[in-house]
Chain A
Amino acid sequence: MTVLRVLFVLVGLALSGAASAQVDDEAIRATIARFADSKNFRETEEIVRDLAATGDVRVERPLSALSDGNLSFRKSDRQVFIAPERGQTATLFDPLTGEAAGEAPKGDFTKVKVNNSLRRTIRDVISGLTLASPDPVVRLAAARTMFIAPDAANLEALDAAIAAETVTSVKISLEAARASTILVSDAPDAAKFDAIALLGQRGDRETLSLLTGFAARSQGDLQAAAQRAIDTIGKSLALWDIGQNIWYGISLGSVLLLAAIGLAITFGVMGVINMAHGEMVMIGAYTTFVVQSVIRSSFPGLFDWSLTIALPLAFLVAGAVGLALERGVIRFLYGRPLETLLATWGVSLILQQAVRTIFGPTNQEVGNPSWMSGGFQIGQLALTWNRLWIVVFALAVFGLLLYIFKRTAWGLQMRAVTANRRMASSMGIRTPWVDAFTFALGSGIAGIAGVALSQIDNVSPNLGQGYIIDSFMVVVFGGVGNLWGTLVGAFSLGIVNKFLEPYAGAVLGKILVLVLIILFIQKRPRGLFALKGRSVEA
């Protein structure tokens, strides 16, 4: 009997719970349905606020979908769905529960329009809804949003969240958010002083922005306190800026190194003024594009590996073009620098126009694999993954080349031929083939540089032109014929450039660097690391 009664009560409870959820559902669904009738952004914003006012965490789903541009309604019955599009079809999901609701042609749906200010509103209301989320990552995101966009109305919710928080990192973020909220509220001055003190310890740009805004609004002691905090943050940021500049310089240097390292072989070691060097870089970049297109259409799962696959292919393709160039043109012109210059310049134009004819004049899309997208922070230092990987890659290529030159038989032959061609020939080295393969190696290295540069620059027929001058500059500055010179030259040019840029601007900075190099070459015509000995005279 008792058991029965308990069961009865339980069922009753469950039923009533279900019923109230049902009512809520209905209300929320009715609000969501209004998106279909919204005529402008202002009306959409009202609906967003109405949804947020229900306080139901589940509305986060349709709101995020709206913010991402995935919320659509069916033209026939004006029913609202989450409908991310792929090609011509849209996959449908229920806006509230996220249950799959089949697929339909994209043309049957109209997207609910969204703009920046709506996205901001959605971000703010979602942070309010998700402050109590069980997932600490979501709570952290909510705290960050409230920190950047403080709203005095959130103060109580923040106090409650701080009291309930168990994860330390989230708690720190929540306290920062509370401090920034206090600054916009009408809290007593004492609380504001505490908030300024707390924010002053953070020392990042967002805090600086908040405090500057606050200092402009406030008066008297509060303003003075805020100003002191601003000055402290400013000082520490100035130090970080120097570090940041060095990093930018290293990163630019690594790009220069990559672009120049192939030339360090063809021009530096072999002495061929190779104006078609930039086009080898471009060929490498286009190889990456072709590899990615094949992967996109046939093996989408392999996309993160596309660069790894493209590397050897780019080396082979650009190397083969280089080999053909050496055998077909350059070998007839050894010892005639002016003609080599003109001939390779002509070849570079031919290659550019050939690529333009095959692939079209427009940019080709080369995607970043996921491990090369975005960035991270160390203190106030912002590092981006693609730049970091390019630095690593440039150094690896440099190391590999150094190994080939110093430790392999082929490297020995190359050095022998450059040092004294006739002697090498007498020793039984087939100098024409060493020439051909050295040139192919230089071109192949330029090709793999193209793979890396496709990640940060346009893949267009003009890609190579942008790098040819810089490459020559690096090789000449570093010292012709010396790989280490190229390394040091590239990084010092990169860092000098980046330290000049903030003061002189990008245009003047570039000019200044050129002038510096010209002056330097006047003083040391053979560059930083001049080769010594008899080979210089030969």
Chain B
Amino acid sequence: MRGMIATLAKRVSGAALAGLMMAGAATAQEDTIKVGILHSLSGTMAISETTLKDVMLMLVEQQNAKGGLLGKKLEAVVVDPASDWPLFAEKARELISVNGVSAVFGCWTSVSRKSVLPVFEELNSILFYPVQYEGEESQRNVFYTGAAPNQQAIPAVDYLMNEEGVERWVLAGTDYVYPRTTNKILEAYLESKGVAAEDIMINYTPFGHSDWQTIVSDIKTFGSAGKKTAVVSTINGDANVPFYKELGNQGVKAEDIPVVAFSVGEEELAGLDTAPLVGHLTAWNYFQSVDTPENAEFIAAWKEFTKNPDRVTNDPMEAHYIGFNMWVKAVEKAGTTDSDAVIDAMIGVSVPNLTGGYSAMMPNHHITKPVLIGEIQADGQMETVWETTGLVVGDEWSDYLPDSKDLIADWRAPMSCGNFNVATGKCGGKGVN
């Protein structure tokens, strides 16, 4: 009996080995360009990141249908960092050193991005980061295709101030780096606009907070001081659904106290009955409802790819769409997938975005985007009620924080610096570099 098992085991492993070798030979023959996808497929962040993995697979498939890149086929390599921040760094290393990918598209939370930064620097690879974030960073190996605070938070506050006449502000957020930094910038910005300190209320809640009764009633109390009040929400992820449910149940109407959210997209609203939320606002650089031929084509392709007519599209998906097309263009321009050549070729590359314009990669590794303010509709979509007339350049170092107002980033040849201090004329100051 034991002997039989042993032979069986030998046979199986032998077959597996042969299979592996054959697979190796097959890839060697085809010689593909590999693209790494570093998004959590399990754990807390899977809710947001799985979609981004799917959209990358779709983009790779589309590019291959167009004939690939530099005469080679693209091959997507998917890994699962499981919402575990140190694991992001390990998986990034695996993608670059073991799988030999040419570029990585990935990360969602700022903490996961911070965890992979040293890996990309050390192994000199390229990361495309597709999510709106707090800024205060510019790294040579990273291209930030999501919004910086001046492409989302500040225009949203301007809109509320000018169009809705808001004078009193609640800054509510989840307790981690993105909301804290964004709120610091917003607080400085509001104070520069003459808003008194007692007209700003700042509130933080833990991740996944589900009991919003006290906070919503605090917001109501804060709003009853005879001045128009609005809530600026950097509440992230799962906590949004119970927050909006509580708002609806306690009868906080958008006409009275509007809530503008920076982390709530079509995807988050999919789990919610939005009828009581009509009129609350979101600020993004893309909405599924945007009426352009490019967007219609993208949505149709997405529904076709996922084989689900109910799937929605959102802003970070558009960021990957832009980032991927920029990378393709830069590789074609450089004629190679070599990191240094592509990083240099990236700056100045301009590709169509889904809102009917062209987004360009700037020397600070951030891109130009339009800013859209949308109101939530009863069908869970956003309707654009305001947009910037032109494109806004992402500002990596906020002008409203004393630490960073003198810093700029420019990765073009002579300067090549992520945190150049214009006051002292030296590269280096605050930051990761």
Bound together, the chains give a CA A505 to CA B205 distance in angstroms of: 8
**Residue with the greatest number of chain B CB neighbours at <10 A, chosen from A148, A375, A384, A498:** A384
Q: Is the CB of A385 within 8 A of B249?
A: yes
Q: Which of A216, A244, A382 interacts with B226 by CB under 8 Å?
A: A216
Contact status A505-B254, CB under 8 Å: no
| Least Cβ–Cβ distance between A100 and chain B, in angstroms | 21
Known A365-B273, A457-B241: A116·B217 in contact at CB below 8 Å:
no
A109 and B214 CA atoms in complex are apart in Å by: 43
If A116-B279, A205-B220, A384-B250 touch, does A462 touch B204 (CB 8 Å cutoff)? Answer: no
Binds A, one of B4-12, B41-49, B148-156, B342-350: B41-49
The interface residues of chain A lying within 8 Å CB-to-CB of B211 are 248, 251-252, 255
| A209 with B226: CB separation less than 8 A | yes
Query: For chain A residues 455-477, which have a beta carbon within 8 Å of chain B?
Result: 456-462, 465-466
Alpha-carbon separation in the docked complex, A360 to B311 (Å)? 11
CB contacts under 8 Å to B, within A336-373, are 352-353, 356, 360-365, 367-368, 373
**B residues near A244, Cβ cutoff 8 Å:** 217
- Are B204 and A505 interface neighbours, CB within 8 A? yes
Distance, CA A489 to CA B272, complexed state (A): 32
Report if B184 contacts A (CB, 8 A).
Answer: no
Contact among B254, B271, B278 for A362, CB-based, below 8 A: B271
* 8 Å CB interface, A116-145 against B: 116-117, 119-120, 123
**B276 proximity list for chain A (CB < 8 A):** 373
Q: Tell me if B251 is interfacial: C-beta within 8 Å of chain A.
A: yes
Q: What is the minimal beta-carbon distance from B15 to any residue of chain A, in angstroms? A: 28
Q: Does A210 contact B (CB under 8 A)?
A: yes
A497 nearest in chain B by CB position: B211
Contact B42 A356 (CB under 8 A): yes
Asked if residues A373 and B249 are in contact (CB atoms below 8 Å), the reply is: yes
A458 touches B255 (CB 8 A): no
- Which residue of chain B lies nearest to A386 when distances are taken between CB atoms in the complex? B249
Query: Does B218 belong to the interface (CB within 8 Å)?
Result: yes
* A251: nearest chain-B partner, CB-CB: B213
Query: Which chain B residues numbered 193 to 245 have a C-beta less than 8 Å away from chain A?
Result: 203-206, 208-211, 213-215, 217-218, 220-221, 223-227, 238, 241-242, 245
A353 to B80 CA separation, bound complex (whole angstroms): 13
Question: What residues on A are CB-neighbors of B245 within 8 Å?
Answer: 368, 386, 456
A415 CB–B CB distance under 8 Å: no
Bound together, the chains give a CA A498 to CA B271 distance in angstroms of 27
Contact yes or no, A362 B279, CB < 8 A: no
- Give the docked Cα–Cα distance between A497 and B203 (Å): 16
A84 to chain B, nearest CB (A): 10
Q: Does B32 interact with chain A (Cβ within 8 Å)? A: no
Least CB distance from B321 to A in Å reads: 19
Structural contact, A382 and B238, CB atoms closer than 8 A? no
B223 adjacent to A209 (CB under 8 Å):
yes
**Interface residues of A, count at CB 8 A:** 63
A301 beta carbon closer than 8 Å to chain B? no
Q: How many angstroms from the CA of A382 to the CA of B213 in the assembled complex? A: 10
Chain B residue at minimal CB-CB distance from A462: B44
B20 at the interface (CB under 8 A from A): no
Q: Which of A119, A353, A360 contacts B42 (CB 8 A)?
A: A353
The CA of A213 and the CA of B276, in the complex, are separated in Å by 28
Stretch at the interface among B90-98, B353-361, B377-385: B377-385
**Smallest CB separation, A225 vs chain B (Å):** 16
Contact partner of B210 (CB less than 8 A), chosen from A211, A386, A387, A457, is: A457
CB distance from A278 to the nearest CB of B (A): 12
A458-B267 contact, Cβ under 8 Å, with A116-B375, A363-B272: no
Across the two chains, which residue of chain A brings its CB closest to B202? A505
Please determine whether A460 and B271 come into contact, CB atoms closer than 8 angstroms. yes
**Chain B hits for A362, CB < 8 A:** 47, 50-51, 267, 270-271
CB distance from B202 to the nearest CB of A (A): 10
A254 to B279, CA, bound (A): 32
Residues of A within 8 Å of B146, CB to CB, are: none
1/0 per position for B375-415, CB-CB distance to A under 8 A? 10111000101000000000000000000000000000000
CA A361 – CA B82 in complex, angstroms? 12
Contact B273 A367 (CB under 8 A): yes
Q: Which residues of A contact B209 (CB under 8 A)?
A: 506
- A188 beta carbon closer than 8 Å to chain B: no
| Contacting pair B204 A506 (CB below 8 A) | yes
Across the interface, do B251 and A375 meet the contact criterion of CB distance under 8 Å?
Answer: yes
Q: Which residues of B contact A213 (CB under 8 A)?
A: 225-227
| Bound CA span A148–B257, Å | 13
Is the CB–CB distance between A368 and B273 below 8 Å? yes
B163 is an interface residue with CB less than 8 A from chain A = yes
Q: How far is the CB of A70 from chain B (nearest CB, A)?
A: 9
Q: How many whole Å from B229's CB to the nearest CB in chain A?
A: 9
Residues of A203-235 at the interface with B, using a CB-CB cut-off of 8 Å, are 205-206, 208-216
A466 touches B208 (CB 8 A): yes
Q: Which A residue's beta carbon lies closest to that of B306?
A: A360
A374 within 8 A of B: yes
Contact indicator B223/A457 (Cβ below 8 Å): no
| A501 at the B interface (CB under 8 A) | yes
Closest Cβ–Cβ distance, residue A251 to chain B (whole Å):
6
B121 interface hit (Cβ, 8 Å): no
Known contacts A457-B242, A458-B241, A507-B206, A245 near B272 by CB under 8 Å: no
B164 within 8 A of A: yes
Flag whether B268 is at the interface (Cβ < 8 A): yes
From A209, A365, A382, B270 is in contact (CB under 8 Å) with: A365
Give the docked Cα–Cα distance between A510 and B205 (Å): 10
The answer for the CA separation of A21 and B385 in the assembled complex, in Å, is 37
Instruction: Pick the residue among A212, A373, A382 that contacts B225 (CB under 8 A).
Output: A212
Give which listed residue, A113, A365, A501, A507, contacts B214 with CB less than 8 A.
Answer: A501
Which residues of A240-283 have CB atoms within 8 Å of chain B's CB atoms? 244-245, 248, 251-252, 255
Q: With A119-B255, A208-B224, A382-B250 in contact, is A248–B46 under 8 Å at CB?
A: no
Closest-by-CB residue of A relative to B175 is A507
> What is the CA–CA distance of A245 and B211 in the complex, to the nearest angstrom?
13
Bound form: Cα–Cα A210–B377 in Å:
30
A41 at the B interface (CB under 8 A): yes
Q: Are B206 and A510 within 8 A (Cβ)?
A: yes
* Cβ of A411 under 8 Å from chain B: no
Which of B44, B208, B254 contacts A116, CB < 8 Å? B254
With a cutoff of 8 Å between Cβ atoms, the chain B residues found around residue A216 in the complex are 226
Asked if B238 contacts A460 (CB within 8 A), the reply is yes
In the complex, which of the residues A115, A211, A367, A462 contacts B238, with contact meaning CB atoms closer than 8 Å? Answer: A462
Which of chain A's residues have a CB closer than 8 A to the CB of B251? 374-375, 382
* Residue numbers in B under 8 Å from A115 (CB-CB): 163, 279, 375, 385
Set of chain B residues within 8 Å of A102, measured between Cβ atoms: none
- The residues of B that contact A214 with a CB separation of less than 8 Å are 226
A460–B250 alpha-carbon span in the complex (Å): 24
9 contacts between A and B (CB under 8 A): A115-B375, A116-B258, A119-B254, A244-B217, A361-B50, A368-B245, A456-B210, A462-B208, A507-B204
10 closest cross-chain pairs (CB), A and B: A363-B271, A213-B226, A212-B226, A209-B224, A361-B46, A384-B249, A205-B224, A506-B205, A115-B385, A248-B213
